[in-house]
Amino acid sequence: MHEDSFFEALETQYAKQLPFVVYSRPINSKIQCWLQKDDELHKTETFTESGFVFAPFNLNEKSILFPKEACLYSEIDIKTLETEVVEPTKIFQNETEKLQHINLVSEGIKRIKNSNLEKVVLSRCETKPNQSNSPITIFKGLFNTYKNAMVYCWYHPKVGLWIGATPELLFKVEGKQLTTISLAGTQPYRRISKPAWTHKEFEEQQIVTNYITEQIKPYTEQINVSDVETVRAGSLLHLKTRVISLIKDKSELKSIIEALHPTPAVCGFPKAEAKAFILQHENYNREYYTGFLGELNLTQVKIRNNNRCNVENNAYAVVKTQSNFYVNLRCMQLKDNTANIYVGGGITKDSNPEREWEETVNKTATINAVLS
């Protein structure tokens, strides 16, 4: 499909207020889209269907599914898109929001000091005007800028419109192989200097890695943990470990999702205590912020040689089911003439409430520039 007709179909779908998702996975020049044929709201609880899933932070709420059989699928392969330059609109902070977040963080620190809670990730929502920017235009700008992220624009008239550029893989499944990633530690990227990590940062990374391996143990076997490496994400560096295992025959995808979502990076640790604190004290509904999204149970055919006539012959083709889920970070929700920007930070016993507020202000400015 040609680029013009690809995006014309998207614009027409949006004008008709019909559901769609357009996205590009990291390190990939392929842009994919799913156009649902009607505006029915499909949900999944079992994660056994095939399609594209959009799941909330709190899995007690329903996950939205674009079923494969209810959608038209298309893709284009392109490195750069032509798009107009969009100037970000201003965000105005107010003292009430500042006081509310400082009080929330203070309450989190207090709970950590008086319970077995070690870390809780607390967030807030900023609202700014958005009167002219087309979501498709925003998506094109993200695709051109963030090649290391899962860049997406997702819309359902009965749910809303979300746009994001998330670098964080929740996990992927290829056949029986499960791959997930442990990310921890942060420092600014410097072009010349070699990154120096402290013992504390390696320790934090190991805690996250240990958490992942413990969570997947009941459902997988032959767990292999890679060496720790330094990876770059935009202007930041992180420590990264890859955890690869084989899913046991009787394990269900839903069980693995529930074991790994939400991650310590967006919820806290221990998970149950952190999630309960968030739902009780954050005073707003995260909805799909810090949820996950991606391809669900899609059949992939890999040809063992160049003779494509033999696809149906098992000697020449390997058929695998594949799922790819990304944590919904660096995102915004467009609603009427406004944009809701979501930001948060990890709180520990040593956190400073005033500094945590300032960190969210800085993150808001960054996301505003990225997603405008």
Smallest Cα–Cα separation from 241: which of 224, 253, 264, 257? 224
Q: What is the mean pLDDT of residues 270-297?
A: 96
244: in domain: no
339: in domain: yes
Q: What is the pLDDT of residue 131?
A: 63
pLDDT(339) > 70: yes
Copy the structure tokens of residue 372.
């405008």
CATH value at residue 159: 3.60.120.10
CB within 8 Å of 156: residues ≥ 6 apart: 19, 36, 39, 41, 54, 64
pLDDT bracket for residue 318 (50, 70, 90): low
Q: What is the pLDDT of residues 169-218, one digit of tens each?
A: 999 999 999 999 988 777 778 876 788 898 878 887 888 899 899 999 99
Q: Is 281 helix (H, G, I), strand (E, B) or coil?
A: helix
Give the number of domains in the chain. 1
pLDDT(306) > 90: no
Copy the structure tokens of residue 178.
């499960």
Q: What is the mean pLDDT of the chain?
A: 89
The CA-atom distances, in angstroms, between 347 and each of 112, 179, 187, 198, 255 are 9, 28, 17, 20, 28
216: in domain: no
pLDDT(103) > 90: yes
The 8-class DSSP code of residue 26 comes to S
Q: Is 215 helix (H, G, I), strand (E, B) or coil?
A: helix
CA distance 322 to 247: 13
Range of the domain at 357: 3-82+94-168+263-370
pLDDT bracket for residue 68 (50, 70, 90): very high
Mean pLDDT lowest for which of 77-81, 291-295, 327-331, 351-355?
Answer: 77-81
Q: What is the pLDDT of residue 225?
A: 96
pLDDT(222) > 90: yes
pLDDT(85) > 80: no
Q: What is the mean pLDDT of residues 11-30?
A: 94
Q: What is the pLDDT of residue 335?
A: 87
Q: What is the pLDDT of residue 132?
A: 63
Q: What is the pLDDT of residue 242?
A: 94
Q: What is the mean pLDDT of residues 219-236?
A: 88
Q: What is the mean pLDDT of residues 74-84?
A: 86
Residues facing 51 on adjacent strands: 67, 296
Smallest Cα–Cα separation from 271: which of 58, 71, 100? 58
Q: What is the mean pLDDT of residues 60-72?
A: 96
23: in domain: yes
pLDDT bracket for residue 122 (50, 70, 90): very high
CB within 8 Å of 51: residues ≥ 6 apart: 34, 42, 65, 66, 67, 68, 70, 71, 296, 297
63: in domain: yes
Q: What is the mean pLDDT of residues 325-347?
A: 91
CA distance 303 to 285: 45
Q: What is the pLDDT of residue 337?
A: 82
Smallest Cα–Cα separation from 122: which of 113, 111, 131, 114? 111
Number of helices (H), then strands (E), in the chain: 7, 19
The CA-atom distances, in angstroms, between 182 and each of 108, 248, 364 are 24, 21, 24
% of the chain exceeding 90 in pLDDT: 60
Q: What is the pLDDT of residue 317?
A: 59
218: in domain: no
Biggest alpha carbon–alpha carbon distance for the chain: 67
Q: What is the pLDDT of residue 265?
A: 85
248: in domain: no
CA distance 50 to 35: 15
What pTM, to 2 d.p., does this model score? 0.90
Mean pLDDT lowest for which of 45-54, 200-209, 230-239?
Answer: 230-239
Compare 2 and 90 and report the one with higher pLDDT: 2
Q: What is the pLDDT of residue 315?
A: 54
251: in domain: no
